[in-house]
A and B are shown apart, each in its own frame.
Chain A
């Protein structure tokens, strides 16, 4: 359990600045998720915290100690890689115990710690197998076990679930959340999947092009996105965003309304449009509308609504659910 603090962290590759001054505090025991589109610098930031990538300038503090120039192994972190990065020539047991054996801990102690971790992650039956003989989910657990056994102050995860199929992913999401509750450790988790971010995070950090766009709890980001970028990134289906003339007519630079905050009716409403396409998801229905006044508009309504393509409908925003942004992001 430790606090992580980043101060004016920058990173350039040659002349290209990919990290443009990051200030961030992750509180002890927090589950902090970095989200953002591909290439925005999430991995780079995580790897700088891990010490695998050196910052160009700025400072990293873990547990109140400046670790900016420490070796990765001296920072009190453990990292889980997207590719798992298990040592193929070692058994599960030796994979988990690798760090301890490098530190020349006594054999008995290693065995006891590794067994304890195997217990937590239910790896018992696989302890003597090689990684090759494990499924994706099991490999992922071994990778997590290798992190746990180091007893780190901070766990770092770089898209650990992106190689798993949807069902396994949601199961592992749950397991990770439980693990976090059980260990109480600080965790920093990188993903580009906003569902993972929303379901697991205590705190979400939305990144864009090497900058932090907004930091907040999942509901804060959903209810009060600070910029159009965050507004468009958090929430599914994504918020309808309009700029240019449309927004200017409403007195702002960017106007946003979430699909679930549109009321659709056949009789009256603010905008009139034609249903172009209907997506039925069971519990609810996604309507794609052509509104002459705005352009394309996506709305979410009841699962058993009776709209059909070609139909002319009316849409109005729920009061207080509209977003008006000044300068476009």
Chain B
């Protein structure tokens, strides 16, 4: 038994190493090389380590575009995640606590949002009609729309595990509906909220395609789109591309390393009582 566990552990570790760690090492090594060396795209260690040189080059490229991109991405991520938490928790709460024909309709709608893939072109039409195309707040709303189904589902399942007596006790104590939610329920949602914040902020920060479709324009660039700087314009500068990858990978990685325990807790805690 012990031996089998050991083997399984070793195999999983090896697979994880090949899938996650080797590419990362590749990125790190090549981010330190000179342009000529990195063009060969191999695993050899750099002959000349030029970390600072590459770093400043990437940051300064195209008039400090990376910094603008960090700013934009942060605004979008913070804005969207905030709205997701508030609406996800509120909608999940109402759906779970007040079953009615209307709430089953809304719930079906939420599930539909998860199942049907979004159509890009009509969405752009809509955005253009309401003057939200090419704006950061338009992008925030898009991200909220994409993330809300999953968020509502998570919150709903978790709220089902909170006894209804608590709501009723608060009502008897004189709490109005919003007070019941904000003073009793919301504090108890902390585990899922951490999960939602981490999972969604990583997803939104790392999002490449949606900003590409919905947020064109030089001043609207997001971090993932800065990768184009070194792919299209300076094709030969693979070292800078990898340095850029490294820079945009690090924030989500830090978030994940700090919170991964809570994420797992939040994912499973609501699941037991469904």
Q: Is B117 an interface residue (CB 8 A)?
A: no
* A85:B171 contact, CB within 8 angstroms: no
Residues of chain A within 8 A of B187, CB atoms compared: 89
User: Shortest distance in angstroms between B236's beta carbon and chain A's nearest beta carbon?
Assistant: 57
**SS class of chain B's interface: helix, strand, loop or mixed?**
helix
Q: Is A141 an interface residue (CB 8 A)?
A: no
Task: Mark interface residues in A88-111 (1 if CB within 8 Å of B CB, else 0).
Answer: 110000000011001100000000
* B168:A102 contact, CB within 8 angstroms: no
- B170-206 contacts to A (CB < 8 Å): 170-175, 179, 183-184, 187-188
Residues of chain B within 8 A of A102, CB atoms compared: 173-175, 179, 183
- Tally A residues with Cβ within 8 Å of B: 22
A98 and chain B: residue at smallest CB distance: B173
Q: Is B169 an interface residue (CB 8 A)?
A: yes
B180 and chain A: residue at smallest CB distance: A102
Known contacts A99-B174, A102-B174, A102-B179, A85 near B169 by CB under 8 Å:
yes
Residues of chain B within 8 A of A184, CB atoms compared: none
User: Shortest distance in angstroms between A152's beta carbon and chain B's nearest beta carbon?
Assistant: 9
User: Shortest distance in angstroms between A99's beta carbon and chain B's nearest beta carbon?
Assistant: 4
* Other-chain contact of B171, A72, A83, A86 (Cβ < 8 Å): A72
* A52:B172 contact, CB within 8 angstroms: yes
* B171:A73 contact, CB within 8 angstroms: yes
Residue of B173, B174, B187 with most partner-chain A CB within 10 A:
B173
Stretch of A74-82, A281-289, A308-316, A319-327 that contacts chain B: A74-82
Q: Is A146 an interface residue (CB 8 A)?
A: yes
Could you tell me the distance between the alpha carbons of A72 and B172 in the complex, rounded to whole angstroms? 5
* B168:A81 contact, CB within 8 angstroms: yes
User: Shortest distance in angstroms between A170's beta carbon and chain B's nearest beta carbon?
Assistant: 25
Q: Is B163 an interface residue (CB 8 A)?
A: yes
Known contacts A83-B163, A102-B179, A52 near B171 by CB under 8 Å:
yes
* A73:B179 contact, CB within 8 angstroms: no
Q: Is A10 an interface residue (CB 8 A)?
A: no
Residues of chain B within 8 A of A89, CB atoms compared: 187-188
* B163:A73 contact, CB within 8 angstroms: no
Could you tell me the distance between the alpha carbons of A87 and B165 in the complex, rounded to whole angstroms? 10
Q: Is B166 an interface residue (CB 8 A)?
A: yes
A147 and chain B: residue at smallest CB distance: B172
Could you tell me the distance between the alpha carbons of A98 and B173 in the complex, rounded to whole angstroms? 7
Residues of chain B within 8 A of A78, CB atoms compared: 172
Could you tell me the distance between the alpha carbons of A79 and B184 in the complex, rounded to whole angstroms? 17
Residues of chain A within 8 A of B171, CB atoms compared: 52, 71-73
* B173:A99 contact, CB within 8 angstroms: yes
Q: Is A150 an interface residue (CB 8 A)?
A: yes
Residues of chain B within 8 A of A103, CB atoms compared: 174
Q: Is A50 an interface residue (CB 8 A)?
A: yes
* B188:A50 contact, CB within 8 angstroms: no
Could you tell me the distance between the alpha carbons of A86 and B162 in the complex, rounded to whole angstroms? 12
User: Shortest distance in angstroms between B187's beta carbon and chain A's nearest beta carbon?
Assistant: 4
Task: Mark interface residues in A20-41 (1 if CB within 8 Å of B CB, else 0).
Answer: 0000000000000000000000
Could you tell me the distance between the alpha carbons of A50 and B188 in the complex, rounded to whole angstroms? 25
A-B contact pairs, 19 of them (CB 8 A): A50-B172, A52-B168, A52-B171, A73-B175, A77-B172, A78-B172, A79-B169, A81-B168, A81-B169, A83-B165, A85-B165, A85-B168, A85-B169, A87-B169, A87-B170, A98-B173, A102-B179, A102-B183, A150-B173
Question: Besides A88-B188, A146-B169, 4 other CB < 8 A contacts?
Answer: A50-B172, A52-B171, A79-B168, A85-B168
